[in-house]
Amino acid sequence: MVPLWLLLLFHVIHFSHGNEIDSAASNGSALSYHYGKLYLPDDHIPYYLHSNRHIAALCRRDPHCPFKQHLQNLNSCWGYEKSCTKGHGYSYPVCDQVDFGWAKTIEESQEVFWKQADFGYVKERLAETQILCRPQEQGDSMLACSRNLQHCRATNLYLDLRNPRRGQENFKEDFLQEGEIGGRCNLDKQALLSQGAWKSPLQSWFAELQSYSSLTFKPVEDAHCDIIIDKPTYFMKLDAGVNMYHHFCDFVNLYITQHVNNSFSTDINIVMWTTSVYGYGDLFSDTWKAFTDYDITHLKAYDNKRISNCHGSGLFRAFSQHVLHRLNITQQLPKEAKIRITILVRSTEFRKILNLDELVHALEAEPTFQVKVVDYKYRVLGFLEQLEITHNSDIFIGMHGAGLTHLLFLPDWAVVFELYNCEDERCYLDLARLRGIRYMTWENRDKVFPQDKGHHPNLGEHPKFTNYAFDVEEFLRLVRQAAKNVSRHSKWPFRRTRDEL
């Protein structure tokens, strides 16, 4: 997913730092601030105030400001701000060893991981952003993008959708022609066309913006528009909405974009950019509530009108906290210090656990375990209910599949146990490392028993297309190991009680 953030008409666009892009986007209007709209996890408030000192100053003068206790921590920063000093950043990755393929020292490994998978990624996008179409006077348009048009922002954007060229393709490259997208500004066409190296539907906005034109008229003032949208609007190209792993790439990228924009408001529009005539199946639509107060709009609604051995990405942890907070998913601890184990089963034809009952019975015989078996069928169990179960799990067990993306919302002390990775070793290992939780998978191949060799309709034998049984004692050994990791984690709520005992 590549987010394109487009602000229409005469509102102010905010970067995290004052710079010429802020100045170019601003038209001198003042924005009032309402504390109640800053709906962020309590731990994130000082980081927000660090980048918004004017709000901190208002809070200091206002006796009713609810953030008074955070004014003592204004040095706290995410890590991408120019004013962020060493030692005050949100977090820094931990590297256990050097991967000599891309780093020579532990310190270099940490830096590379931070830049590619943590808040350093935001810092680099901010640093490389340049104005491609510069306004000449108040009320003009503006276009600014990061390298290769991964992330773009615009004011007073003109879109002409009277003659949509829709078909079956989701991302038709010639959907917009010269004169159908643009603004009244001084366009550096050569600089724009030099950004096409990553031209690809889900990597760049080059296909959509290569025909951006410098207009001779002001679309609003000269009455060229049938519809005027004056609310901040995100255009997003989305991955598969029926697959949690793919779709949460969209949500993580949207959260990154909020940091790039230094704006976490939910009073925004989100428009799904697709050139297809078809709709979009979304099994995770509840998640949008963490980002916007409104329904997602399909672009066609406007038709015919004018990493490594490092782990613990602070960015991914903050994303998890942000979504859970906005969706009101809370931690509900049991009265006793029991390890809550959730086993995710599949109702699909393949990757079923053949001896599930036997494994569950063995776990239930352990007095310190509390076991729950779930099937995240969306027609039976809504996504918010799924998140509630996941977030209140200490050990999350499941076969290889998109459902393991739920690991993003496990508590910090949790362990995700990919029961069998079906020879796809990196996918959820990498995701768990980004989230900063411990990952386990089956270790002894002599103690896992496939039903057959697998039978993909086109690829032939394939380990993802069969079902499996597991040695009970080996399964218990691994779960006990996971439980030990949970109980020893510094953030496990019952650790002090157990240590005292």
Mean pLDDT across 145-149: 95
pLDDT at 496: 54
Q: Quote the CA–CA distance of 461 and 475 in Å, as a whole number.
A: 26
Mean pLDDT across 181-208: 94
Residue 44 has pLDDT above 60, yes or no: yes
Which amino acid is located at 396 in the chain? F
Residue 12 has pLDDT above 70, yes or no: no
- Measured between its terminal Cα atoms, the distance across the chain in Å is 49
pLDDT at 305: 64
C-beta separation of 344 from 406 below 8 A: yes
Task: Give the contacts of 273 (CB within 8 A, at least 6 positions apart).
Answer: 4, 171, 208, 235, 236, 237, 299
Q: Quote the CA–CA distance of 391 and 12 in Å, as a whole number.
A: 37
pLDDT at 18: 37
C-beta separation of 117 from 307 below 8 A: yes
pLDDT at 33: 63
Return the closest-CA partner of residue 157 out of 125, 180, 191, 175. 180
More confident residue, 17 or 312: 312
pLDDT at 308: 62
More confident residue, 39 or 6: 39
- Taking only the tens place, the pLDDT of each residue in 221-233 is 766 777 888 889 9
Residue 4 has pLDDT above 80, yes or no: no
pLDDT at 229: 84
pLDDT at 201: 86
**Number of CB atoms found within 10 A of residue 445's CB:** 10
Angle at 433 between CA 334 and CA 205, to 5 degrees: 115
pLDDT at 144: 96
- Taking only the tens place, the pLDDT of each residue in 387-435 is 999 999 999 999 999 999 999 999 999 999 999 999 888 899 999 999 9
Mean pLDDT across 190-199: 95
Highest-confidence range of 97-101, 209-213, 217-221, by mean pLDDT? 209-213
- In the chain, what is the greatest distance between 2 CA atoms, to the nearest angstrom? 77
pLDDT at 478: 96
Least confident of 118-122, 347-351, 408-412: 347-351
Q: Quote the CA–CA distance of 274 and 2 in Å, as a whole number.
A: 12
pLDDT at 441: 96
Q: Where in the chain is the domain with CATH 3.40.50?
A: 329-500
15 pLDDT band, cuts 50/70/90, is very low
- Taking only the tens place, the pLDDT of each residue in 89-115 is 999 999 888 876 778 899 999 999 999
Mean pLDDT across 265-277: 91
The token pair at 364 is: 């239930």
- Taking only the tens place, the pLDDT of each residue in 456-469 is 777 678 889 999 99
More confident residue, 350 or 388: 388
pLDDT at 461: 80
167 pLDDT band, cuts 50/70/90, is confident
The token pair at 222 is: 């000269």
DSSP character string of 213-261: EE-SS-TTTTT--S----S-EEEEE---TT-HHHHHHHHHHHHHHHHHH
Q: Specify the length of the chain in residues.
A: 501
Mean pLDDT across 51-77: 94
**329-500, CATH topology level:** Rossmann fold (3.40.50)
- With a pLDDT cut of 90, the percent of the chain lying above it is 66
Mean pLDDT across 480-501: 79
pLDDT at 428: 94
Mean pLDDT across 112-130: 95
Q: Which residues of 81-117 are buried (b: 16+ CB within 10 A; e: fewer)?
A: beebeeebbbbbbebeebbeeebeeeeebbbbbbeeb
- With a pLDDT cut of 70, the percent of the chain lying above it is 90
Q: Cα 194 to chain center, whole Å?
A: 28
Model confidence, pTM: 0.80
More confident residue, 454 or 411: 411
Q: Which 3 state secondary structure label does DSSP give 172? A: coil
The token pair at 357 is: 């009952």
- Whole-number average pLDDT of the chain: 88
Residue 30 has pLDDT above 50, yes or no: no
Q: Quote the CA–CA distance of 278 and 464 in Å, as a whole number.
A: 30
